[in-house]
Structure 1
Amino acid sequence: MAEIRVEHLRKAFGDFVAVQDSSFVVRDGEFFVMLGPSGCGKTTTLRMIAGLELPTGGKILLGGEDVTMRRARERDIAFVFQLFALYPHMNVRRNIGFPLLAQGMPGIEIRQRVEETAKLLRIDHLLNKSVSGLAGGDRQRVALGRAIVRRPKCFLMDEPLGTLDTEFRDLMVHELRELHNRIHATTVYVTHDQMEAMSMADKIAVMNHGVIEQFG
């Protein structure tokens, strides 16, 4: 895992400045939450760390390496979206193992990694089930499994519990923090929900109008 360092980050879309002069450090193994209302720049910041958007100015360092202008595929990160983006024609096992298959990993190793990951997420009993028949919480665990199985340097999560009902959300907040404690992954998590942020974060950055107003 690795430290993420953001220095004077800026992103403009024409005349609109979505993120202005943002600087912060996410320590190795830290659970870092970006909190703020819709349109405040938190998702844009996350997308720049991921390499899905390139910044207008500033720097992003991952494990001490300057990755500012590198595309997503050139950064060792895993992204978990609000919408699960699972492959409906594949079962749980194949969904989780897909990134490893794409990397050309041998079948025996894929099987071992998938089973370890499923056990960690307590979905090993669902491996041969179709994802289309799963409940929301289980679908989100599969999406997390697909990110974890690669063992990337860091995890970036954009409101991953946003589509779940309240009961599932409360359960997943607890489980995500428990999972973090077990794997000690550097995590940047975006949410507009204060309770989610306070329940999970080691550190919180409060964003508004493209600016980090509080950090600690």
Structure 2
Amino acid sequence: MADIRIENLRKEFGSFVAVQDSSFTVHDGEFLALLGPSGCGKTTTLRMIAGLELPSSGKIYLDGEDVTFNRASARDIAFVFQLFALYPHMNVRKNIGFPLLSQGMPRAEIRQRVEETARLLQIDHILDRSVSGLAGGDRQRVALGRAIVRRPKCFLMDEPL
């Protein structure tokens, strides 16, 4: 895992300020929960850390490296979205393994890592089921599995529970 340091992060959408001068550090192995009412900038902050939104000002450091303007693909961060963002045409196994397949990992290693992750999340018994027929809790665990299987530097989760 990695340290995340945010310095004076700000995001404006036109004249609306979604995030104003936010600064904090999350050290390797720590958990941080952002709490606040709807519209206060929690998701926008996560999206900027992940590289899905560019900040209006401020800095984002990952393991001491300034990644403020790096593309999301260059940050090695896993993001679990509030609404899961699963691929409905794929089964559980393919959903979890998709990030590894996209990286060109050998199929044998993908299979091993998917099965290991599924056991960790206690969903190994549903690997060959369609995600469209799963209950909400199982869908959530599939989305978590897709993040975990990559072994990224850090995890960002937007209302994962």
**What is the TM-score with the length of structure 1 in the denominator?**
0.73
Separation in 2 of the partners of 1:129 and 1:41?
36
Residues 131-155 of structure 1 show CA distances to partners (whole Å, capped at 9, x for unaligned) of: 1111110111001000100000001
Residues 148-182 of structure 1 show CA distances to partners (whole Å, capped at 9, x for unaligned) of: 00000001111123xxxxxxxxxxxxxxxxxxxxx
Aligned to 2:101: 101
Aligned to 1:160: 160
Separation in 2 of the partners of 1:126 and 1:31?
29
Q: Does 1:79 align with 2:79?
A: yes
Separation in 2 of the partners of 1:3 and 1:15?
32
Separation in 1 of the partners of 2:58 and 2:34?
18
Residues 15-56 of structure 1 show CA distances to partners (whole Å, capped at 9, x for unaligned) of: 111111111000101111000001111111111101111011
Asked which structure has the greater RCO (Cα within 8 Å, sep 6+), the reply is: 1
After superposing on structure 2, the runs of 4+ consecutive aligned residues of structure 1 that deviate more than 2 Å are none
Aligned partner letter, 1:48: M
Aligned partner letter, 1:70: N
Aligned to 1:188: none
Aligned to 1:114: 114
Q: How many residues align?
A: 161
Partner secondary structure for residue 34 of structure 2: strand
| Uncovered stretches (5+) of structure 2, i.e. residues with no partner | none
Separation in 2 of the partners of 1:129 and 1:14?
44
Aligned to 1:16: 16
Partner secondary structure for residue 24 of structure 2: strand
Is the strand fraction higher in 1 or 2?
1
Aligned to 1:143: 143
Matches within 5 A, 1:1-216: 1-161=1-161
Separation in 2 of the partners of 1:37 and 1:108?
45
Aligned partner letter, 1:101: L
| Uncovered stretches (5+) of structure 1, i.e. residues with no partner | 162-216
> Percent of pairs identical after alignment?
83
Aligned partner letter, 1:84: F
Separation in 1 of the partners of 2:44 and 2:86?
23
Aligned partner letter, 1:78: A
Superposition deviation, residue 107 in structure 1: 0.5
**What is the TM-score with the length of structure 2 in the denominator?**
0.97
Separation in 1 of the partners of 2:98 and 2:147?
10
Superposition deviation, residue 4 in structure 1: 0.2
Separation in 1 of the partners of 2:46 and 2:90?
29
Separation in 2 of the partners of 1:87 and 1:10?
32
Residues 179-199 of structure 1 show CA distances to partners (whole Å, capped at 9, x for unaligned) of: xxxxxxxxxxxxxxxxxxxxx
